[in-house]
Amino acid sequence: MANYKDIINGLKDKQGGIIEAFHALQREYNYIPEEAIAEAAQVFGVSQAQAYGVATFYSYLSVEKRGKYIIRMCESAPCHVAGADEVIKAIEKHLGIKVGETTADGKFTLELTECVGQCQATPVITVNSEPVFNVSAAKVPEILSAYK
């Protein structure tokens, strides 16, 4: 795993690049560790409170540890009418966790999201940002079994 300091310092010449740095950290760790927020604040010349304020403003960023695979269920109106609620229930049941939780083995985290811009094939989930189309409650076990 790349060192968080190297990740942040690699972007230090980007004006306003703290969000880019947070993205890069998340690609590596799936969340933004606390010590990385402090480092980013220093590198980009803002207070720790400000850096934390940025990290927590955006729903795509997380300051809490998450699983290897982050499942996000779209619940915007087009996915809602296509049956998003049943899919959420099926995922919760299959993984034995509620929205916002991570499985005990650290493999899956389940989150809700608004429209991910793939509304041609609703309902949609994303797994680590990769969209999965036309999801149904019945297909959930098969879809999730692909993530080892």
Partner 1 sequence: MADEMRLLLEHADKIDPRIAEDYIKVGGYKGLEKARQMDRKDLIQEVKSSGLRGRGGAGFNAGMKWSFVPPAPVKYVVCNLDEGEPGTYKDRIICEKNAQALLEGMAICGTAIESKQGYIYCRGEYPFVVELLNKAIQSAKAVGALGDFDIEVRMGAGAYVCGEETALIESIEGHRGEPRFKPPFPGVAGLWGVPTVVNNVETFAALPYILSNGAEWYASIGAPKYPGTKVLTLTGDANNTTYFEVPTNYMLRDVIYKLGGGIKNGKKFKAVQVGGTSGAFIPEQNLDTPIDFDSMGTIGAALGSGAVLVLDETRDIVDIVTRISKFFEHESCGKCNPCREGTFRCREIMEKINAGRATEADINNILLLARVMKKAALCGLGQAAPIPITSTIEHFGHEYRRKLLQYA
By CB under 6 A, name the binding residues for ligand FES: 74, 76, 78-79, 115-119, 122, 124
d(CA 48, CA 9): 16
Least CB distance to partner 1 at residue 88 (A):
13
Least CB distance to partner 1 at residue 25 (A):
12
Q: Please name the residues in contact with 86: beta carbons below 8 A apart, sequence gap of 6 or more.
A: 136, 137
Which does residue 133 touch among ligand FES, partner 1, none (CB within 5 to 8 A, set by kind)? none
> What is the footprint of partner 1 within residues 73-112 (CB under 8 A)?
75-78, 80-81
Note whether 49 binds partner 1 by CB under 8 A. no
Q: Which one, 120 or 145, has the nearer CB to partner 1?
A: 120
Q: Which one, 26 or 102, has the nearer CB to partner 1?
A: 26
Residue 92, φ and ψ in degrees, nearest 5: -60, -45
Give the H or E element holding residue 50.
helix 48-57
d(CA 21, CA 17): 6
Number of residues that bind partner 1 (CB under 8 A): 35
Q: Which of 26, 70, 21 is nearest to 43 (CA)?
A: 21
What is the layout of strands, in order, in the sheet containing 69-74?
A: 108-113, 69-74, 125-127, 130-132
Which does residue 124 touch among partner 1, ligand FES, none (CB within 5 to 8 A, set by kind)? ligand FES
Note whether 123 binds partner 1 by CB under 8 A. no
